[in-house]
Structure 1
Amino acid sequence: TSAGTARALWTQLRHEGAASPSDEEAIADQASLDHAEIYGRNIESFIGTVKIPVGVVGPLRLNGLNAHGDYYVPLATTEAALVASYGRGAEVTAQAGGITTAMIGEGVLRTPAFVFRNMLEAGMFINWIAGAVDQLKASAEATTRHGKLITIEPFMDSDTVFLICRYTTGDAAGQNMVTVATEALCAYIAANTPVAPLRAFIEGNFSGDKKASYLGLHMGRGRKVTASIELPDALIRKYLHVEPEAMLAYGRVAALGSTLSGQLGAQAHYANGLAAFYIATGQDAACVAESAVGFTRAERREGGIFFSVTMPNIVVGSVGGGTGLPSQAAALGIMGLKGEGNDLHGAICRD
């Protein structure tokens, strides 16, 4: 990909009446064309970039097991008032001493699937898998310097077997990493299993990749995080302009609404903040479909309200994907998370 190929595509678009010179000027600005080769690593038929407003929230005060201090968080969105809303949250939580955070689980899932002639063959295959775990792990991990296959859990449905493969992925979100590793695992199975499947698939659509699922809700996919804070009544009134009892009353109705409508989890809309953060920092924005699942809890405590949030499917990284693009790398830099082997990144991911 080069600036020349982008210009050639714009010539074609104008010739066919699909674009105007002003369209080209807005999308194919010089700064974008100067980095055409970099952008081209993440997209085909590159013609430029779309500009999304970026705001910053903070300081956001964290009291994690490993990460402590104040952080500024970039958010890219076209939704007016979103950054202001999160800004109020950052302000009131900082005044209350900060948010307690922890990462309580980790593992990106891939679930290869194998179809057999009958239930007996499927059961025999699972028995063989149980004795070949070390070899399967070695095959998968030979494809990556950073990924580790930590568990393999069979799930059987009559003549079909899914293998729930859970990986740690270092500083990367790891979606492609675990796909390549699982392909190697499947190749080892094909070459060595005494019970040959009729069909095999690297991903059987069981893992919950970019989908809200009960599996992700309970097992987690990516990083499972939890956070909590206790806000005094006086701060709620001063910064959020609402009576604490009204907040609690709404929380009860919202929890009922989540249950009656069959939502996965109970929360208002994590997707707003996650989408803005994922876009700003070069994450895979489609992962919001699974990441925006979780539970928000509010309980009366003496003199205030205790709030907690648990999110089991946070799929993020500081390397790979779009994290190396110019603006996205700069956004990660604002947080102190740019690049591989960053001690702060490791601390925050653990928190």
Structure 2
Amino acid sequence: MKKFINKVDDVVVEQMQGMAAAHADIKICVEPKYMYRSDSPNSEKVALVSGGGSGHEPMHGGFVGFGMLDGACPGEMFTSPTPDQMLECASKVNGGPGVLFIVKNYTGDVMNFDMATEMLHEEGIPVQSILVDDDVAVKDSLYTAGRRGVGTTVLLEKIVGGAAEAGYNLDQCADLARKVNTNGRSMGIALTSCTVPAAGKPNFEISDEEIEFGVGIHGEPGRKRIAHTTADELTSMMANGILEDEAYTRVVREWDRVKGEWEEKEITNEPLKKGDEVIVMVNSLGGTPLSELYVVYRKLAEICEAKGIKIVEKLVGSYITSLEMQGCTITMLKADSEIKKFWNAPVNTPGMRWGV
């Protein structure tokens, strides 16, 4: 294992310290671990808080700042943060209008954010919690019940972050987050594995002649393992996996902050169709260079044009990674006027910046 680390046990704290040293508008707490905006709390806006295992940077700590998150809770590598991290972070950034938790659909994240939601409610802090489950590759995985939460998380944090800055209340932010999730779809491919420092060896074995189609961001198995092929073929497989995804109805648990209890809601993701406008993200899983991502985007744009789907905004780069894994994900989000408005709103974070 060759990595720029000192002690394995210090990796997460030292990366937090480095980010705070590089970006004066981000502050950190190391016990329990969380990151927050230096201007927190803000009494005029809903606070957005997310988190998850480290190793996916810039998500989530790199998206703390104006126009996105107010706080982020990093767990150990590929390990959920704990409820006390979430509780302390949310309490720190809450200015009064309440807290929206943005939760990727992984069993540990869901369980711990649920506990934190209940604890915040007991402390009298208005709270909502929205689940992201946009990975079309598999219905269930090693880490989830239902679809995994992946790339749409980044787009959701940006869009809802813009709405919170504009004065949306807690219920409006939750409604917008739910809409973004139901309109977002992602698919990924891995060419290599990655190495978690604590393990000291690759997460999984894969030959030079193989790829994992539909891989998860922790290296979870996808739909199948197939022979490596051209960039155009791989891009077509990812894009078609998204575009051919049918309507998907599932039951989710959401917090009723008035009743102070969980309730079940049935939500349906409608498929993309000709005439839709989309925001797309072509994302490196850590080890894929930008030059190759543009090769992927080239083919994706061609496919969308042929299908009558209009790309109105795009991101190409590293936004949700899996340490040094060579691989790529594509995310497509159906965009209406509200989504486009807040996508284009100013943002100033380490991982995303425009309009300021």
Name which one, 1 or 2, has greater alpha-carbon Rg. 1
- Shared fold (TM-score, shorter chain, > 0.5): no
Question: TM-score, normalization: structure 2?
Answer: 0.26
Name the structure where helix makes up a greater proportion of residues: 1
